[in-house]
């Protein structure tokens, strides 16, 4: 087995190499954007598609300079798009001058003297020296940024004068949202009671048509100051419909079926100790690698079930019941039992490892522990033994990560989220002094002084002052899930996004994957720069396609030939399933194919010892484990 980890040549090759499908020059569309319905409103060379408000041409005060549409001279006036839009998503970048002011309006009609009399305005200004109390990114006099749910703080995501800022605006009858440099500023619904009440208190109340149109022009405001716009892109969403997706084709020969039809999970009754309904939450499906092909299914509540490797299976057996030490709550459902990995030499040493939220320690504490199988029963845990390797305090209940897996080098890899809340408020993912927001690599076969594990001497930050030596890679938000390709040794990781994008990464030694300086391949927050080189995702998709990625693995089984060599993944929210083929040597996406499904919220994937693939969903009756199968065309 070839192990690509630790290759400086691969790291050098991956840094800054966003696949052509995802990277574009300024004022151009990527292949992905074209497939998902985006169109350019500015080509970087002319003012085609724009005109001044109530006129047929663009005044000379607007000029095109260095690929930007610039309000430069006096008398420029407000300009509008030639076309009108109802439901849409707009992406636009601006660069404001010192103390400058401008605005971006939507649903503008031309019945009154000024565009802001009908169209709501997103403020554009220099937040440091600007004179207007309405700050950049606010919907003028209507909606200000929302406090973070966890920290209760309001973030100013704007960048300084002279740097580019990005606004993403979504407008549909059901919901509208404003994102400033990737950070969610506002959610609202035009025409709702809340909207109408806010309008009534604003200066716009004196104009009856304000905010009433459901279709209109986009408008860039001339406020007498120097301002530049570029990368102006729009995606229309007729009747609020979602884009069709980004699949190249559908894998018609691939289907799925219940893996264990009618199975009874030992001890599962559908209610908890208090008689309240309890769902079956299969979070891990894996194998011991001991030649038995037994399947182990762990639930988020902390029960590990074992299933025989062959024959008809009617009931599972409990391999380990850890519910006495595992915390799980439905209202804090990113905690619980999250990871399970068997030692590569399990057949000889009987060791396996688990990642879970602990009842023993203070609230929101994650633990990685070593366990052993019973010497007298291979289908039963040794209940007398647990050795804690890592005890990790978490500042919040979400973004726990939780995948643990052994690499082809025999080391244990651990995916940790950034600690939670939103936007990584503590800056963990770019901080080498904390384990949060990182992928760790430890040696479980040896022990350093004071530790129940050893730090591999070739870990990338071993000799860096103050850095935690366990860190293998950094800059991740909440990997859900990661897995090694059993044929190539490559480590694949799916990182759940914040507001706009989901991403898939190939993880290499010392790699920085950008969070929270970026979300996927896109700058995030007020930090325009980066402390070093960042590695781009090999694939990303936006939140109109899906908004919570569930990573799988590269299929290496034999029962479904159409999947061989393809990375399986899903989106928990949209319920879509895909198979992605990527050429690592050429850094080239080959295809991204969909697998037809009835919008199933996949919570996790798994592999058995033969390389066959499974996925899991939460159910009330325990019938939520499925296996991929070949089906006739």
The tokens describing 338, both together, are 């999250």
Looking at residues 84-105, what average pLDDT do you find?
97
Q: 223, exposed or middle or buried, with CB in 10 Å at 0-12, 13-18, 19+?
A: middle
Looking at residues 535-540, what average pLDDT do you find?
96
Q: Are 360 and 322 in contact (CB under 8 A)?
A: no
Sheet holding 577-583, edge to edge: 249-250, 588-595, 577-583, 567-571, 549-554
Domain coordinates in residue numbering, the chain: 8-18+246-630, 38-240
The 3-state secondary structure of 239-268, one letter per residue: HHCCCCCCCCEECCCEEEEECCCCCECCCC
Nearest Cα to 302, choosing from 274, 326, 267?
326
In the CATH scheme, what is the homologous superfamily, with its name and number, of domain 38-240?
Exo-inulinase; domain 1 (2.60.120.560)
Pairing of strands 365-372, 351-357: antiparallel
Phi, psi of 378 (to 5 degrees): -70, -10
Other beta carbons less than 10 A from residue 618's beta carbon? 18
What whole-number distance in Å separates Cα of residue 579 and Cα of residue 140? 44
461-472 pLDDT, tens digit per residue, is 999 999 999 999
Q: 65, exposed or middle or buried, with CB in 10 Å at 0-12, 13-18, 19+?
A: exposed
Pairing of strands 68-71, 282-286: unpaired
pLDDT, position 409:
98
198-243 pLDDT, tens digit per residue, is 999 999 999 999 999 999 999 999 999 999 999 999 999 987 566 7
What whole-number distance in Å separates Cα of residue 177 and Cα of residue 89? 9
Pairing of strands 588-595, 249-250: parallel
Q: 77, exposed or middle or buried, with CB in 10 Å at 0-12, 13-18, 19+?
A: middle
Q: Which helix (H) or strand (E) holds 11?
A: helix 8-14
What whole-number distance in Å separates Cα of residue 435 and Cα of residue 469? 9
Residue 594 backbone class (left: φ over 0; alpha: ψ -120 to 50; beta: rest): beta
**DSSP annotation of 204:** G
In percent, the amount of the chain with pLDDT more than 90 equals 88
What whole-number distance in Å separates Cα of residue 471 and Cα of residue 508? 12
pLDDT, position 532:
63
Pairing of strands 165-171, 176-180: antiparallel
Q: How many residues does the chain have?
A: 633
Answer yes or no: is pLDDT of 13 > 60: no
Q: At 198, is the secondary structure helix, strand, or coil? A: helix
Task: Name 572's Cβ contacts closer than 8 Å, sequence gap at least 6.
Answer: 546, 548, 549, 550, 601, 602, 603
Q: At 216, is the secondary structure helix, strand, or coil? A: strand
pLDDT, position 633:
61
**How is 130-180 classified by DSSP, letter by letter?**
-S-SSPTTSBTTTBPPPPPTTT-PPP--PPPTTS-EEEEEEE-SS-EEEEE
Answer yes or no: is pLDDT of 21 > 60: no
pLDDT, position 432:
98
In angstroms, the Cα distances linking 261 to 15, 82, 281, 466, 622 are 46, 58, 17, 52, 10
Fold match between domain 8-18+246-630 and domain 38-240: no
Looking at residues 71-85, what average pLDDT do you find?
96
What whole-number distance in Å separates Cα of residue 266 and Cα of residue 264? 6
What whole-number distance in Å separates Cα of residue 571 and Cα of residue 577? 7
In angstroms, the Cα distances linking 70 to 60, 96, 116 are 10, 10, 20
Label residue 276 by pLDDT band (50, 70, 90). Answer: confident
List helix spans (H) across 45-107.
Answer: none
24-48 pLDDT, tens digit per residue, is 689 999 988 998 999 999 999 999 9
Fold that domain 8-18+246-630 belongs to in CATH: Neuraminidase (2.120.10)
**How is 66-83 classified by DSSP, letter by letter?**
TTEEEE-STT---EEESS
pLDDT, position 155:
87
Looking at residues 127-151, what average pLDDT do you find?
93
393-427 pLDDT, tens digit per residue, is 999 999 999 999 999 999 999 999 999 999 999 99
pLDDT, position 100:
97
Task: Name 305's Cβ contacts closer than 8 Å, sequence gap at least 6.
Answer: 265, 266, 296, 297, 298, 299, 316, 317, 318, 319
Nearest Cα to 179, choosing from 501, 424, 441, 490?
501
Q: Are 211 and 197 in contact (CB under 8 A)?
A: no
**How is 341-386 classified by DSSP, letter by letter?**
EE-TTHHHH-EEEEEEEBSSSSSSEEEEEEEEB-SS-TTSB-TT--
Looking at residues 124-143, what average pLDDT do you find?
97
What whole-number distance in Å separates Cα of residue 494 and Cα of residue 58? 46
pLDDT, position 152:
86
The tokens describing 599, both together, are 């919008």
Q: Which helix (H) or strand (E) holds 196?
A: helix 193-201
Evaluate the omega torsion of the peptide bond into residue 516 and state whether it is cis, within 30 degrees of 0. yes
pTM score of the predicted model: 0.93
Burial 249-270 (b: 16+ CB within 10 A, else e): eebeebbbeebbeebebeebee
């Amino acid at each position: 087995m070839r192990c690509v980890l630790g290759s400086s040549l691969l790291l050098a090759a991956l840094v800054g190499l966003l696949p052509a499908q995802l990277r574009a020059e300024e004022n151009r569309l990527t292949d992905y954007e074209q497939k998902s319905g985006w169109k350019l409103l500015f080509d970087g060379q002319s003012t085609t598609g724009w005109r001044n408000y109530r006129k047929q041409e663009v005044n000379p005060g607007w000029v095109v300079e260095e690929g930007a549409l610039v309000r430069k001279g006096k008398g420029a006036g407000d300009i509008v798009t030639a076309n009108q839009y109802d439901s849409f998503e707009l992406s636009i970048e601006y660069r404001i001058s010192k103390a400058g002011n401008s605005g971006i309006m939507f649903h503008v009609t031309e019945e009154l003297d000024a565009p802001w009399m009908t169209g709501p305005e997103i403020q554009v200004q220099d937040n440091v020296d600007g004179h207007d109390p309405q700050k950049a990114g606010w919907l003028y006099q209507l909606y200000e940024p929302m406090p973070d749910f966890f920290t209760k703080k309001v973030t100013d995501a704007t960048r300084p004068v002279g740097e580019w800022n990005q606004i993403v605006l979504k407008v549909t009858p059901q919901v509208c949202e404003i994102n400033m440099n990737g950070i969610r500023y506002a959610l609202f619904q035009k025409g709702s009671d809340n909207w109408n009440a806010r309008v009534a208190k604003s200066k716009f109340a004196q104009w009856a048509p304000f905010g009433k149109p459901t279709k209109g022009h986009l408008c860039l405001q001339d406020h007498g100051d120097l301002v530049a716009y570029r990368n102006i892109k729009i995606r229309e969403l007729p009747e609020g419909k979602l884009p069709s997706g980004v699949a190249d084709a559908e894998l018609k020969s691939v289907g799925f079926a219940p893996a264990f039809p009618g199975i009874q999970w030992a001890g599962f009754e559908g209610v908890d100790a208090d008689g309240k309904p309890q769902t079956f939450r299969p979070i891990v499906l894996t194998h011991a690698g001991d030649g038995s092909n037994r399947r182990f299914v762990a639930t988020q509540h902390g029960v590990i079930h074992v299933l025989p490797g062959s024959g008809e299976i009617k009931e599972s057996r409990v391999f380990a019941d850890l519910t006495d030490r595992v915390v799980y709550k439905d209202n804090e459902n990113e905690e619980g039992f999250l990871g399970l990995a068997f030692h590569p030499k399990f057949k000889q040493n009987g060791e396996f490892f688990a990642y879970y939220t602990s009842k023993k320690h203070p609230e929101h504490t994650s633990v990685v522990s070593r366990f052993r199988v019973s010497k007298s029963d291979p289908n039963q845990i040794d209940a007398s033994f647990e050795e804690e390797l890592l005890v990790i305090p978490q500042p919040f209940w979400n973004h726990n990560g939780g995948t643990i897996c052994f690499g082809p080098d025999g080391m244990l890899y651990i995916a940790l989220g950034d600690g939670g809340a939103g936007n990584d408020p503590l800056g963990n993912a770019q901080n080498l002094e904390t384990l949060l927001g990182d992928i760790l690599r430890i040696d479980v076969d040896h022990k350093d002084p004071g530790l129940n594990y050893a730090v591999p001497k070739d870990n990338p930050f071993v000799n860096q002052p103050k850095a935690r030596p366990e860190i293998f890679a950094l800059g991740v938000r909440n990997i859900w899930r990661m897995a090694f390709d059993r044929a190539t040794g490559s480590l694949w990781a799916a990182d759940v996004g914040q507001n706009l994008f989901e991403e898939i990464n190939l993880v290499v030694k010392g790699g920085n994957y950008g969070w929270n300086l970026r979300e996927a391949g896109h700058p995030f927050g007020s930090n325009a720069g980066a402390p070093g080189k960042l590695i781009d995702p090999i694939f990303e998709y936006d939140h109109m396609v899906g908004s919570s990625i569930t990573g799988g693995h590269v299929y290496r089984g034999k029962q479904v030939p159409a999947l061989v060599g393809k990375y399986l993944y899903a989106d928990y929210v949209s319920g879509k399933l895909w198979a992605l083929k990527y050429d690592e040597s050429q850094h080239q996406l080959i295809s991204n194919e969909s697998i037809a499904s009835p919008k199933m919220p996949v919570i996790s994937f798994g592999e058995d010892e033969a390389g066959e693939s499974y996925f899991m969903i939460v159910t009330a009756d325990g019938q939520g484990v499925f296996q991929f199968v070949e089906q006739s065309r």
